[in-house]
């Protein structure tokens, strides 16, 4: 019995040490996750709280919780209706840019992945180089082109400028997703009577729905948050986008933090809705289109 007690005690000690290591690992994992969540959410929390503070509370010693909640900052921001017009303009521009980018880039990426033609590799590299070109180098030439086309100070001109950057990115991203769709699925669909276009619409696009949703999110977010080209091209107050309207709230060295944070909160709502809807769509698209019929 004494001989057996030694190995049993060693096994129990080893099991206890393993449980302690497992517990410590879980505690460290959760602590890391909590810190990461706080780092991500604290700026959002600070933005919302600041938008609900009185001016005297904003400029005194910073506090994590306002003594008095107020909606005066939102009322001041929305009093003349100009910011709501800017939100509408941003919705129009970002939605149209996203829709056109997804449609054109889907056909472009599919052609580069499935078809073989001369200079295909050169075209692919040019698309990548177009995406990598800094916008700060192109805003003057693009503004001159828009002025010659008489599209300056218009949402149409802004949409065209945004497309010059969103299309290369969308095409480059979708190529990777389309390559992941087996050719055999398309061939089977065409054997069952689908045309090449039908195979694209009914097989490739549904299977690439997560990628398309990701591309749509990147494109919409980029068009929604863009400021440089809007600042150069747009001069009329009625054509301003949301970032541009927030920029014009700053006069000289005066920063109206209350209205600025209120505008940031309102501007964040469409993006939050888009991310929520797109997340569900991405999960649903992972299996849609893989079943015949």
Least trusted range by pLDDT, from 26-35, 61-70, 228-237:
61-70
Residue 251 DSSP code: B
Interval 144-171: pLDDT, tens: 888 888 888 889 999 999 998 889 888 8
Q: Tell me the Cα Rg of the chain.
A: 27
Question: 276 pLDDT band (50/70/90 cuts)?
Answer: confident
Is pLDDT at 204 greater than 90 in this prediction? no
Residue 145 is predicted with a pLDDT of: 87
Is pLDDT at 98 greater than 90 in this prediction? yes
Residue 91 is predicted with a pLDDT of: 94
Helix/strand/coil for 133: coil
Higher pLDDT, 62 or 24: 24
Is pLDDT at 13 greater than 50 in this prediction? yes
Classify domain 73-285 at the CATH superfamily level: MetI-like (1.10.3720.10)
Residue 85 is predicted with a pLDDT of: 93
Span 39-60, mean pLDDT? 87
Residue 282 is predicted with a pLDDT of: 61
Question: 281 pLDDT band (50/70/90 cuts)?
Answer: low
Residue 153 DSSP code: T
User: What percent of the chain has a predicted confidence (pLDDT) above 70?
Assistant: 89
Least trusted range by pLDDT, from 134-138, 199-203, 234-238, 247-251:
134-138
Q: What is the mean pLDDT of the chain?
A: 83
Residue 10 is predicted with a pLDDT of: 58
Residue 184 is predicted with a pLDDT of: 83
Residue 16 is predicted with a pLDDT of: 66
Residue 290 is predicted with a pLDDT of: 42
Is pLDDT at 180 greater than 70 in this prediction? yes
Question: 11 pLDDT band (50/70/90 cuts)?
Answer: low
Residue 284 is predicted with a pLDDT of: 53
Span 106-123, mean pLDDT? 82
**DSSP H stretches of helix in the chain:** 2-51, 55-59, 72-78, 82-114, 120-132, 139-148, 155-179, 183-191, 196-199, 205-207, 209-225, 228-233, 242-247, 257-285
Question: 62 pLDDT band (50/70/90 cuts)?
Answer: confident
State how far the Cα of 224 lies from the Cα of 226, in Å rounded to an integer. Answer: 6
**DSSP H stretches of helix in 81-179:** 82-114, 120-132, 139-148, 155-179
Distance of CA 161 to the CA centre of its chain: 18
Helix/strand/coil for 109: helix
- In degrees and rounded to multiples of 5, residue 275 shows phi and psi of -65, -40
Residue 265 is predicted with a pLDDT of: 92
Residue 96 is predicted with a pLDDT of: 96
Higher pLDDT, 276 or 246: 246
């Amino acid at each position: 019995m004494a001989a057996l007690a030694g190995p049993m005690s060693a096994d129990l000690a080893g099991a206890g040490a393993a449980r302690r290591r497992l517990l410590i690992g879980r505690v460290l994992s959760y602590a890391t996750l909590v810190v990461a969540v706080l780092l991500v959410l604290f700026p959002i929390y600070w933005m919302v709280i600041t938008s609900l503070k009185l001016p005297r509370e904003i400029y005194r010693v910073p506090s994590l919780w306002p003594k008095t909640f107020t909606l005066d900052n939102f009322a001041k921001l929305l009093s003349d209706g100009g910011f709501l017009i800017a939100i509408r303009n941003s919705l129009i521009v970002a939605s149209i840019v996203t829709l056109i980018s997804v449609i054109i880039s889907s056909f472009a990426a599919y052609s580069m992945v499935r078809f073989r033609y001369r200079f295909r590799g050169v075209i692919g590299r040019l698309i990548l180089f177009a995406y990598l070109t800094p916008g700060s180098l192109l805003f003057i030439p693009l503004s001159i082109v828009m002025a010659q086309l008489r599209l300056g100070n218009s949402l149409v001109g802004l949409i065209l400028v945004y497309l010059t950057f969103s299309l290369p990115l969308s095409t480059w991203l979708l190529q990777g997703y389309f390559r992941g769709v087996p050719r055999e699925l398309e061939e089977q669909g065409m054997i069952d009577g689908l045309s090449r276009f039908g195979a694209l619409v009914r097989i490739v696009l549904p299977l690439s729905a997560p990628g398309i949703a990701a591309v749509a999110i990147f494109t919409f977010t980029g068009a929604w948050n863009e400021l440089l080209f809007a600042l150069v091209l747009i001069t009329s107050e009625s054509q301003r986008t949301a970032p541009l309207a927030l920029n014009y709230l700053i006069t000289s060295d005066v920063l109206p933090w209350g209205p600025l944070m209120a505008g940031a909160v309102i501007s964040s709502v469409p993006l939050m809705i888009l991310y929520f809807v797109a997340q569900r769509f991405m999960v649903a698209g992972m299996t849609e289109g893989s079943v015949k019929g």
